[in-house]
Structure 1
């Protein structure tokens, strides 16, 4: 098996563009690096580089070898990054931006547990339903729900949020439970306006693809907690993430209807910028969030 150093020396040589700079990176002399590359070519039986006084050019074989050298370097770097935080002093602050509904449910408990483990780390959580530029506004990470646009950010899936339709027992004393989506025409459907499909368009499963149904009601809001309260007092039906009403459904304060017909399910992600040397506190915090969401998976 070839010595890993051969790959690393070759990687730095190409990245730096000169033997002297590569030598500085790997802690060897320029002459030793030159001899190692010459020996490498002899052992492989191919020419990896075309050398001139002004630059180094890769041969076809060199291109192939460099692609593998880069993979070796990244693997070593990732291993070092993973270990680098283990001896760090875990202190400082973490800034996180989250949608209102996330900030009112699982996250407060998750953050409290994290603070118990790492009391020297301060977590600043801002609740905001707008699309926040986390780099421009100085956040370490964001919690986002739905289909993510292509970007240079890293996304860690925390959970899949299924949506439900439900109402209070008091409401069903006045109106019979709907059996199909067509029955919703006879119901007061309260609207949650903070959703991408529209406040009065509810998503259902179809034979080949989901479809939306236009509903109507006498109340709409962009605040999930207010919508839940309206449902609890019997004002009408709501179409909301299950996690918002999971305890109410379990305790019988709300009753789920059309359970197997509702189609909406959105991913919940922790989003953060790519950086080669991500602080250990951020890695630990994201992993902690993931484990907390896993523990509450039944609520989603």
Structure 2
């Protein structure tokens, strides 16, 4: 097991490109750096670099070792940044934009717990189903669901959210429980219009494989709470994220149907612009959200 100092020494040697520059950067003599690298190679039993008067070249083993040395360097830097950030005054505000379905569920609990820890940080949450431009509109981060196509942003997955098909006991008693996806055609399937596939497109996995089926019903809405309410009142079946109805399912107010046929599961992400020096308060908030969602992931799966 090589010491962290030797890994960092090797990292700086390759980054600077010479023994002299590495020695100057670390504050050692050139001879000490050379001896330590030689000792490192002997301890590992492999040659890490080819030495010439002009340059240093990594061997195949050296490439692998440098990759790990760089990871150690980044880990040390991140730890130092985190510790220095704790000395900052954790005040000011964090602006986030959130779809209405996320803003009405577990997120308020997470924010309340964060505010208990950091009462001087003001959280401004904007509920909006449109695709907000974070940089243009001055948001620190967004909570988003599904694929993240824009590579100019960083996406931290908070949890994986499974969807369910469910209905009220009164509805199922009157209309029967569907036993396969083909029987959904005779049911009143309520539509949730805030999804890319459309309000009446349900993703299933049946004898035809994973595919989208088109259902029909007498109610469509872009508001998840209204859709849940309609289901609770026995109006029809809904296809929604489990987190929306987890308590209803646990209490028997709604009953899940066709669980083995459901194919929809989407990641929930904290998305933020790429910045080299992200404010400590935003880092802490994202980490808090991650661990909070992970602790409650049974409500999502």
TM-score under structure 1 normalisation?
0.79
The answer (yes or no) to whether the contact 2:23–2:33 under 8 Å persists in 1 is no
Does the C-alpha gap of structure 1 residues 248 and 60 become closer, same or farther in structure 2, counting only changes over 3 Å?
A: closer
Match of 1:236 in 2: 236
Give CA deviations for 1:61-90 in whole Å, capped at 9, x if unaligned: 6x9587676445323312212322233322
Q: 2:135 corresponds to which residue?
A: 135
Q: Any idea what SS the aligned residue of 1:114 has?
A: helix
In the alignment, which residue of structure 2 is the partner of 1:88? 88
Q: 1:17 to 1:126 in 2, by over 3 A?
A: farther
- Pair 137,247 (structure 1): closer, same or farther in 2 beyond 3 Å: same
Residue 128 of structure 1, CA deviation: 1.8
CA displacement, residues 186-223 of structure 1 (integer Å, 9 cap, x when unaligned)? 11111101112221111112358412221111221111
Aligned to 1:287: 287
In the TM superposition, what is the alpha-carbon distance from 1:108 to its structure 2 partner?
0.8
Q: Which moved more, 1:66-75 or 1:123-132?
A: 66-75
- Where does structure 1 lack aligned partners over 5 or more consecutive residues? none
Structure 2: gaps (5+ residues): none
In structure 2, the residue matched to 1:254 is 254
Provide the rounded CA distance (Å) in 2 between the counterparts of 1:7 and 1:139. 39
SS at match of 1:144: strand
| 1:111 CA displacement | 0.5
Provide the residue aligned with 2:104 in structure 1.
Answer: 104
Shift of 1:176: 1.6
**RMSD of the alignment, in Å?**
3.4
Change (3 A) 1:292 1:68: closer
> Equivalents in 2 of 1:71, 1:194: separation in Å?
41
Could you tell me how far apart the structure 2 residues matched to 1:174 and 1:118 are? 51
User: How many residues are treated as equivalent by the alignment?
Assistant: 292
| CA pair 5-241 structure 1, distance change in 2 beyond 3 A | closer
Alpha-carbon distance in structure 2 between the residues aligned to 1:179 and 1:123 = 46
